[in-house]
Amino acid sequence: MKKLSFLIAPVLLSFIIVMTSATPVNGDKETERLHSASNVLKDFGAMKEGIPHKLIANYEGIVIIPKTINAGLIVGAKRGKGVAIVKLPDGRWSDPVFVTITGGSIGAQIGVQSVDLIMVFKHKGALTKVKNGDVTIGGDLAATAGPVGRAASANTDYKLEAEVYSYSRSRGLFAGITINGSSLSIDKDANHSYYGDGMSAHDIFETGKSNTVAVKHLKETLASL
């Protein structure tokens, strides 16, 4: 069974990479990703039990991964592409940096699931310090299922001490998604494609000057949570 798991894992990961690499009809993958992230925020904001306002107000970073593909056949694997945003010193949100998430798990599981995923980070340094490498959720940072209820008090949920709170909305066959063990990395190709070759992830996180419609819409949607 162990040998079978090692054989299945590469095939499964290749399958979900293909599924998450399809080019949108309009040919602008980065703009499409920004619009998808805005739609995820809208959907979460419309939920009766949404992300607490005070959590967004007190925490410094957020990652939105639309349609994370979570697939399992003994060995599970996940991959998704999204964006990361951090708070600037004046309280505004930075321009979004394009990121990817990958991970795996072993257990009795079967099926394919599409999940909208949001992670809220206590300290923006966890995101802004990711350069050429990546950060492991649950390894470098502890992740916990987030509190719900838009009006929930910051004092009611363990004083909001977790480094990362995660929220997901399932659309497929699994009951949920495992975040710990997943690796979050900078999508350099997407950032270069959208912002130009001269902009690093650090540069993007430091500014909020982008005037594109997709970026403005994403920031407005986030501010409305």
- Going residue by residue through the chain (225 aa), what tens digit of pLDDT does each one get? 444 444 444 444 444 444 444 443 333 899 999 999 999 999 888 877 778 888 888 899 999 999 876 655 544 556 789 999 999 999 999 999 999 988 765 444 455 567 788 989 999 998 988 766 678 877 667 777 777 665 554 444 446 678 888 888 776 544 455 677 788 899 999 999 999 888 889 999 998 888 899 999 999 999 888
Pair of tokens at residue 94: 């930075």
Residue carrying structure tokens 């010193």: 89
Displacement of CA 146 from its chain's centroid (Å): 14
Position 24: which residue type?
P
Give the pLDDT confidence score for residue 104 in this predicted structure: 61
- Percent helix, strand and coil across the chain, each to the nearest 5: 30, 30, 35
- ∠ at Cα 145 (102, 72), nearest 5°? 40
How many DSSP H helices and E strands does the chain contain? 7, 6
Give the pLDDT confidence score for residue 105 in this predicted structure: 55
Strand partners, 117: 65, 168
Give the E-state strand segments of the chain in sequence order. 61-86, 97-121, 134-136, 143-145, 164-170, 183-186
Give the pLDDT confidence score for residue 88 in this predicted structure: 94
CB atoms within 10 A of CB 166: 21
Phi-psi region of 182 (alpha: psi -120 to 50; beta: other; left: phi over 0): beta
Give the pLDDT confidence score for residue 195 in this predicted structure: 92
